[in-house]
């Protein structure tokens, strides 16, 4: 049984779960026959798992996922052109190790954000620093910080630092010339070192036009499309489907 002073010292060491593990062993007679080495191994394993759990929780919290409940196990494949094998492969996050981008295309309501957030959650579970942001919000943040005197380089560093960056509503508004310069620099910094998940209502074939054409658009496209996995979401409105399922569930409960 640990005395209060020893518990205080363990807390100062900031080892997650260690005190709880020791108290668990002391309270359960099933562990009484363990040798010192076995007890120590159990405590270390428990503490290590708690440390990993805390890291994942912190990554998920800092990722600011739009749909934190999204999970790859909840992806609906019924009537949609989604490959279960591809989604399963993406869930391993090997695409991040290969610095491959993911492009999710589809109309409003087809589940682009859900899938992107589900993949973002998987990235967090694998210890990868992740951020979800809508492109309009990212560009507004850039304008706000630059108006406050920040150099553009500092804003670029912020978004370039994430191993996985989810850009939702990509190109929903046509970028200005200044914004195009920012997007090119961001794409260049992330190229071949990290992964970006693009969610767009516009197919890739229209991106060049949406960006106004020209050298900047050409350079951005060149750094994305040649090393990207494209996912077509189809035309099933998942919001309407979810609403119908909820209505059927409520009707069944009331009958």
pLDDT top residue among 53 and 228: 228
What pLDDT shows up at residue 2? Answer: 66
What pLDDT shows up at residue 35? Answer: 80
Mean pLDDT of the chain: 91
What pLDDT shows up at residue 51? Answer: 80
User: What are the sequence ranges of the domains in the chain?
Assistant: 4-62, 64-241
pLDDT in tens, 183-194: 999 999 999 999
pLDDT in tens, 107-138: 999 999 999 999 999 999 999 999 999 999 99
133 sits in which H/E element: strand 130-134
Burial of residue 231 (CB within 10 Å: 0-12, 13-18, 19+) is buried
Distance, CA of 13 to chain centre: 30
What pLDDT shows up at residue 128? Answer: 98
CATH of 64-241, one of 3.40.50.1370, 3.40.50.300, 3.40.50.2300, 3.40.50.920: 3.40.50.300
Q: In 3D, which of 103, 71, 83 has the Cα closest to residue 196?
A: 103
What pLDDT shows up at residue 1? Answer: 59
What pLDDT shows up at residue 214? Answer: 92
Helix axes 36-63, 112-125, angle to 10 degrees: 150
Q: What does the pLDDT average to over 6-17?
A: 73
The answer, yes or no, to whether residue 47 has pLDDT greater than 90, is no
Contact 144, 196 (CB under 8 A): no
pLDDT in tens, 207-221: 999 999 999 999 999
Q: In 3D, which of 220, 218, 178, 214 has the Cα closest to residue 198?
A: 220
Strand partners, 103: 198, 230
What pLDDT shows up at residue 74? Answer: 95
**What is the distance between the alpha carbons of residues 148 and 143, in angstroms, rounded to a whole number?**
9
Contact 110, 236 (CB under 8 A): yes
**What is the distance between the alpha carbons of residues 190 and 156, in angstroms, rounded to a whole number?**
10
Strand order in the sheet with 101-105: 130-134, 164-168, 195-200, 101-105, 228-232
Indicate the Cα dihedral angle 201, 192, 226, 216, nearest 10°: 70
pTM: 0.84
Query: Which band of pLDDT confidence, cut at 50, 70 and 90, is reported for residue 21?
Result: confident
What pLDDT shows up at residue 55? Answer: 92
């Amino acid at each position: 049984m640990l005395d209060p002073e020893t518990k205080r010292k363990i807390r100062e060491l900031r080892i997650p779960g260690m005190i709880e593990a020791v108290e668990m062993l002391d309270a359960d007679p099933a562990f009484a026959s363990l040798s010192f080495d076995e007890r120590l191994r159990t405590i270390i394993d428990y503490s290590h798992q708690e440390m990993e759990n805390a890291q994942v929780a912190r990554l998920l919290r800092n990722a600011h996922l739009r749909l934190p409940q999204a999970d790859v196990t909840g992806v609906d494949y019924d009537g949609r052109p989604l490959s279960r094998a591809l989604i399963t492969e993406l869930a391993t996050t090997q695409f991040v190790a290969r610095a491959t981008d993911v492009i999710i295309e589809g109309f409003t309501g087809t589940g682009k954000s859900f899938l992107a957030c589900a993949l973002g959650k998987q990235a967090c579970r694998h210890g990868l620093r992740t951020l979800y942001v809508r492109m309009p919000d990212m560009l507004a943040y850039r304008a706000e910080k630059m108006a406050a005197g920040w150099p553009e380089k500092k804003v670029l560093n912020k978004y370039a630092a994430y191993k996985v960056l989810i850009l939702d509503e990509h190109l929903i508004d046509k970028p200005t010339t200044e914004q195009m310069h920012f997007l090119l620099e961001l794409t260049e910094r992330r190229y071949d070192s990290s992964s970006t998940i693009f969610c767009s209502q516009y197919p890739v074939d229209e991106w060049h036009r949406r960006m106004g054409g020209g050298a900047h658009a050409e350079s951005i496209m060149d750094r994305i499309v040649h090393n990207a996995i494209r996912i077509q979401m189809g035309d099933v409105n998942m919001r309407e489907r979810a609403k119908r399922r909820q209505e059927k569930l409520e009707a069944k409960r009331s009958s």
